[in-house]
Structure 1
Amino acid sequence: MKLRLAISLFASLILTLSTSHALAQSDEAKYWGKDVPKSADHPFIKRFVGSWLTGYSAAEWDITKFPTTNVIGKDKKFQDVVTLEGKQTRIIYLAPRGKMPVEVFRNYQQALQSAGVKIRFVCESQCSNLYWAWKEMNEPNKGMQWAEGSIYTPTSSRYSHSSGLTPDKGMMLVGSVKRGEQETHVLLYTSVAAYDVTGLTQTYIHLVEPKPMPTGQVAVDATALQNGLQEEGKVTLSGLFFDTGKATIKDESKVQLEEMAKLMQAQTQQKYFIVGHTDNVGNFDSNMTLSLQRAQAVVQALSAAPYKIAASRLIAKGNANLAPVASNTEEAGRARNRRVEMVAQ
């Protein structure tokens, strides 16, 4: 009797586990391959064959930080980082069941190296300290769109996609590659997805294509001009536009000129320097000439109709790249240095 009962219970357990396994497989199959809506592989690197794109974020311009070495300080933070501004693409994949992190990571690593990526550093084992430092610095899940479904185990349990990145068997790679005049930066992280019990591997890829932030979308109004002059004695005129290498003011600068004239008409005794600045690209003498010509163009525009500001109140100066406000080593900094300022005399 007891033997029959034990056999019956065992059979029932086997049936339950089989049913749970079948349900998990059914749920997984229902969603697998249905990528995040409006997402896609980045043109630079495709997914591991058979993977599911479960997390996605793309921004035409944003700012982030990448580690440049795998050195972690006593504060548990990366000791060397670079700030990157530009187009940001972040993608998370689940590899097919049974594919281990090392296999997936090696394939991505080989693909990146074949594409000419210069590796800054690679961590292949005992990388948990890098994971925690990276997670605190970048919050990799922040702002992600997620696919439907979950991370399924071979039984009936499941985990959310946002729980997938872990320090378990994690491996990290950071590098960059020149593509024409542009340097693309890449961070790759692969680990067990959620827990070993899932039998799945998750990969996070972050690509940054540096470019200057779109500027001139907001003209500095008369009140802001006055406040800037009172507080710092100068203000950058973000609403003035010129074609590359030219000193002719573009039509879309009208709003900024109007605000400058409004201030000058209210402060009739104040005199101003209009100062042009450039980045450090090109010959210094030509940059000096260009920066002066742009400042002169602004003075001429304000002196003429319809503004008619007395020319005696305005002095044009060119400063080339003698007074940068940011580093010229990257395009984002050079963009900030190309500017025209209004300075109280």
Structure 2
Amino acid sequence: MKTFAHCAAALLAAAFATAAPAADKPVVDLPGAADHPLVKRFAGSWLAGQSISNWDAAVLPGSAEMAKTDGRQFKDPLNLEGKVTRTLYIAPRGKAALEVWRNYEQALNAAGFKKRFSCESKCADLYFAWWKTSDPNKGMTWAKGSVETPTGSRYDLTSALSPEDGRMLVGTLGKPGHEATVLLYNSLAANATTGLVTTYLQIVEPKAMETGQVTVDPAALQAGLAAEGRVTLTGLFFDTGKTELKPESKPQLEAMAELLKSQPALKAWIVGHTDNVGGFDANEKLSLARAQAVAAALTAAPFKVDAKRVVPKGLASLAPVAGNGDDAGKARNRRVELVAQ
């Protein structure tokens, strides 16, 4: 039985069948990398880099509009979580950026792509906002190698994306309820002197995070408070950009309630923190709302902790525990802490 991914891939492969596969020099795909099952490459392209996160957060533009307060920040960011696949291709020499773009566009449409927005001209602000907000693949350090100009000059693949002749498309592909979000960006590779075209493809597939990887222990919470006066609550879970506690947060809440019950004199701040993505005011509200959600859960049944003992605060990105320059640092900064008063 054919899956949707197989059908979509067949349609995409058929749409690309007319593209010339020739290249001026033989190239080899990044070892271990492969096309995503939903979207095949433009024929003859070199798969230059790929990053796959089994479960991670991703911020994509939700429209081509920029925030009025900052010309290089999305007005409508898409905060997504799931399996994130990022792939970088270099098209064969002699292919125009528009030709590569139209082939992808037609193939996606044939596969049932639902467009959210596209930008085909004057997309530099969108490109720079995307780079500033999302930092596509940490500067693409996962892309190994370089592109060469006809005269022999070389440009590292970490700079293969550019605003020159850039176009962007964002939408969804897949069955309702299981749709993957697709971002396609197409530009000249590094700059016009290379005579090459780069395609960046990011696919975020909805996927439940594996839970049960962190156990919580009231004694460990007490030890953290005794040692540093605060402890990060690693067992609290929220959807990206949301303030509702997810059901898998229950063991952490139970451990907190048990700690408070065993230490009747303990009063604590519940402090929410965010990374630096997005506006400060929005992050301040988000961090406070998440802390309030935790405090509310503790004061409600079945725990019924005295509200005076768990006071919520929100600090946004004011107290990071790691740099915000990569996804790992941002993940550490998005947290809720228990702080002894």
| TM-score bracket, shorter-length normalisation | 0.5 to 0.7
Alpha carbons 1:185, 1:209 under 8 Å: kept: yes
State the alpha-carbon separation in 2 of the partners of residues 259 and 316 from structure 1.
Answer: 13
Match of 2:65 among 60, 66, 71: 71
Instruction: Give runs of aligned pairs for residues 165-184 of structure 1, distance below 5 A.
Output: 165-179=161-175, 181-184=177-180
Name the structure 2 match of 1:132.
Answer: 128
The structural deviation recorded for 1:141 is 3.8
State the alpha-carbon separation in 1 of the partners of residues 258 and 177 from structure 2.
Answer: 41
The structural deviation recorded for 1:73 is 2.5
Distance 1:227 1:238, change over 3 A: farther
Alpha carbons 2:155, 2:190 under 8 Å: kept: yes
Match of 1:37 among 28, 31, 34: 31
The structural deviation recorded for 1:179 is 2.5
State the alpha-carbon separation in 2 of the partners of residues 91 and 79 from structure 1.
Answer: 25
- CA RMSD in angstroms, aligned pairs only: 3.7
The structural deviation recorded for 1:60 is 0.4
**Structure 1: stretches of 5+ with no match in the other structure:** 1-26, 240-252, 269-314, 318-345
Name the structure 1 match of 2:214.
Answer: 218
State the alpha-carbon separation in 1 of the partners of residues 48 and 204 from structure 2.
Answer: 20
Indicate the SS of the match to 1:220.
coil
Indicate the SS of the match to 2:101.
helix
Name the structure 2 match of 1:243.
Answer: none
Indicate the SS of the match to 1:134.
helix
State the alpha-carbon separation in 2 of the partners of residues 261 and 171 from structure 1.
Answer: 52
Name the structure 2 match of 1:100.
Answer: 96
Distance 1:86 1:144, change over 3 A: farther
The structural deviation recorded for 1:86 is 0.6
Distance 1:228 1:109, change over 3 A: farther
Normalised to the residue count of structure 2, the TM-score between the two structures is 0.58
Residues 215-237 of structure 1: CA distance to partner in whole angstroms, max 9, x if unpaired?
A: 221111113566999x9xxx997
Distance 1:155 1:113, change over 3 A: same
Indicate the SS of the match to 1:112.
helix
Residues 187-222 of structure 1: CA distance to partner in whole angstroms, max 9, x if unpaired?
A: 000000111111100000000002232222111111
Amino acid at match of 2:142: Q
Indicate the SS of the match to 1:159.
strand
Match of 2:85 among 89, 101, 113: 89
State the alpha-carbon separation in 2 of the partners of residues 238 and 194 from structure 1.
Answer: 42
Name the structure 1 match of 2:52.
Answer: 58
The structural deviation recorded for 1:261 is 11
The structural deviation recorded for 1:159 is 0.8
Match of 2:148 among 129, 145, 152: 152
Distance 1:39 1:261, change over 3 A: same
Q: Does 1:49 align with 2:22?
A: no
Alpha carbons 1:84, 1:208 under 8 Å: kept: yes
Amino acid at match of 1:209: E
Indicate the SS of the match to 2:105.
helix
Normalised to the residue count of structure 1, the TM-score between the two structures is 0.58
Indicate the SS of the match to 2:48.
strand
Distance 1:159 1:267, change over 3 A: closer
State the alpha-carbon separation in 2 of the partners of residues 144 and 112 from structure 1.
Answer: 28
Name the structure 1 match of 2:158.
Answer: 162
Name the structure 2 match of 1:185.
Answer: 181
Residues 79-104 of structure 1: CA distance to partner in whole angstroms, max 9, x if unpaired?
A: 01120001000001000001011000
Match of 2:112 among 116, 120, 133: 116
Alpha carbons 1:94, 1:200 under 8 Å: kept: yes
State the alpha-carbon separation in 2 of the partners of residues 78 and 265 from structure 1.
Answer: 45
Q: Does 1:201 align with 2:197?
A: yes
Report the identity percentage: 49
Indicate the SS of the match to 1:107.
helix
Distance 1:151 1:28, change over 3 A: farther
State the alpha-carbon separation in 1 of the partners of residues 208 and 52 from structure 2.
Answer: 16
State the alpha-carbon separation in 1 of the partners of residues 214 and 263 from structure 2.
Answer: 23
Distance 1:98 1:63, change over 3 A: same
Instruction: Give runs of aligned pairs for residues 246-261 of structure 1, distance below 5 A.
Output: none
**Structure 2: stretches of 5+ with no match in the other structure:** 1-22, 238-249, 265-300, 304-341
Amino acid at match of 1:195: N
Indicate the SS of the match to 2:174.
strand
Comparing 152-161 with 200-209, which one deviates more in the overlay?
152-161
Amino acid at match of 1:192: L
